[in-house]
């Protein structure tokens, strides 16, 4: 085989491999997985032992994720029979016209003790006021610098949140207020970079999205493009920082291109387990 033929052969192989990469990555972007995470803490009240919390983020309803696909995801979540549903922001792909359709679908979500949500940077781009209006219309509790005591029997846990790090304001005191160290508290923050400001023994669990887990990764180990100032630190998964645990989800949707590589979209199911103090 001469040099020219070798070059042609190499180019052909590269084109085939790139085509396979694109085909698989497009398929993976639609291949939603369920990730189960056990959260252990002595602060979990007896009544909340075994509580099932579903967490999703970064839907990005728009040209790459349709209302029909979201409807199937909503049905999948309802099939889990969650006690609590938490939403981590970035519900639409930039544009205002997607806000009402995404919350029309979210209005079909069902949980025993309510749905709680924060806004992401894309929700500010599209329209924060309309987003909050549609949340309220569809029975979703806004956690942007707000918090709620969720009661079960004689026990309660607190769920709160802060505004988006890039586009909003952050007032964690509205969640801290009235908390004791022995209480179990969850804080929603769309952007996990905010965790650098929030390590505290008043919060047991933080939940974030924003990074998409890198979306396109080197076989799940490393992401070349990540919207974080801290490298791979807050890319994806469970981070255990002593009393406070943090989970960063890979999200549901995509941005820029409808591709994922070794970073499947996910529905996160968090199960609370009380431990001895």
Q: Which of 52, 207, 215, 222 is nearest to 120 (CA)?
A: 207
* pLDDT tier at 266, thresholds 50, 70, 90: very high
Q: Which of 48, 41, 276 is nearest to 157 (CA)?
A: 48
Backbone angles phi and psi of 122, in degrees to 5: -65, -30
Residue 4 has pLDDT above 80, yes or no: no
Domains and CATH numbers, the chain: 31-274 (3.60.21.10)
Please tell me the predicted confidence (pLDDT) of residue 7. Answer: 78
Please tell me the predicted confidence (pLDDT) of residue 29. Answer: 97
Please tell me the predicted confidence (pLDDT) of residue 14. Answer: 86
Q: Which of 241, 240, 239, 237 is nearest to 251 (CA)?
A: 237
Which tokens is 24 given?
Answer: 């698989």
List the beta bridge partners of residue 270. 37, 53
Please tell me the predicted confidence (pLDDT) of residue 223. Answer: 97
Q: What pTM did the predictor assign?
A: 0.96
Q: Which pairs with CB-CB distance under 8 Å and at least 24 residues apart come from 225-231?
A: 228/192, 228/193, 229/193, 230/193, 230/196
Please tell me the predicted confidence (pLDDT) of residue 62. Answer: 97
Give tens-digit pLDDT for 125-183.
Answer: 999 999 999 999 999 999 999 999 999 999 999 999 999 999 999 999 999 999 999 99
Give tens-digit pLDDT for 40-61.
Answer: 999 999 999 999 999 999 999 9
Which tokens is 102 given?
Answer: 């995404």
Beta-carbon contacts of residue 174 (< 8 Å; ≥ 6 apart): 145, 146, 147, 160
Please tell me the predicted confidence (pLDDT) of residue 23. Answer: 95
Give tens-digit pLDDT for 183-222.
Answer: 999 999 999 999 999 888 899 999 999 999 999 999 999 9
Mean pLDDT, the chain, whole residue set: 95
Backbone angles phi and psi of 227, in degrees to 5: -80, 65
* pLDDT tier at 2, thresholds 50, 70, 90: confident
Backbone angles phi and psi of 246, in degrees to 5: -135, 140
List the beta bridge partners of residue 156. 151
Share of the chain above pLDDT 90, in %: 89
Q: Which residue has the higher pLDDT, 77 or 243?
A: 77
Q: Which residue has the higher pLDDT, 241 or 107?
A: 107
Please tell me the predicted confidence (pLDDT) of residue 9. Answer: 78
Give tens-digit pLDDT for 5-34.
Answer: 777 778 887 899 999 999 999 999 999 999
Please tell me the predicted confidence (pLDDT) of residue 254. Answer: 97
Mean pLDDT for the stretch of residues 233-237: 97
Residue 1 has pLDDT above 70, yes or no: no
Please tell me the predicted confidence (pLDDT) of residue 200. Answer: 85
């Amino acid at each position: 085989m001469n040099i020219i033929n070798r070059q042609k052969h190499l180019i052909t192989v590269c084109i085939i491999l790139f085509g396979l990469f694109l085909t698989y990555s497009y398929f993976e972007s639609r291949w939603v997985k369920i990730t189960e995470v056990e959260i252990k803490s002595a602060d979990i009240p007896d009544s909340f032992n075994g509580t099932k919390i579903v967490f999703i983020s970064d839907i990005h309803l728009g040209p790459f994720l349709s209302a029909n696909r979201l409807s199937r995801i909503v049905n999948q979540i309802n099939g889990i029979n969650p006690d609590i549903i938490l939403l981590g922001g970035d519900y639409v792909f930039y544009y205002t016209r997607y806000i009402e359709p995404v919350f029309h679908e979210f209005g079909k979500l069902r949980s025993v003790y309510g749905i709680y949500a924060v806004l992401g940077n894309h929700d500010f781009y599209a329209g924060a006021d309309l987003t909050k209006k549609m949340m309220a219309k569809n029975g979703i509790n806004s956690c942007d610098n707000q918090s709620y005591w969720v009661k079960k029997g004689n026990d309660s846990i607190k769920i709160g949140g802060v505004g988006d790090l890039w586009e909003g304001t952050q007032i964690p005191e509205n969640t801290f207020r009235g908390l004791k160290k022995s209480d179990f508290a969850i804080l929603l923050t769309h952007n996990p970079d905010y965790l650098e400001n929030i390590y505290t023994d008043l919060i047991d669990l933080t939940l974030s999205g924003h990074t998409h887990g890198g979306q396109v990764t080197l076989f799940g180990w490393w992401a070349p493009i990540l919207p974080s100032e801290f490298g791979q630190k807050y890319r994806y998964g469970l981070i255990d920082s002593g009393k406070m645990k943090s989970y960063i989800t890979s999200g549901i949707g995509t941005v820029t291109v409808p591709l994922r590589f070794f970073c499947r979209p996910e529905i996160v199911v968090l199960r609370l387990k009380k431990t001895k103090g």
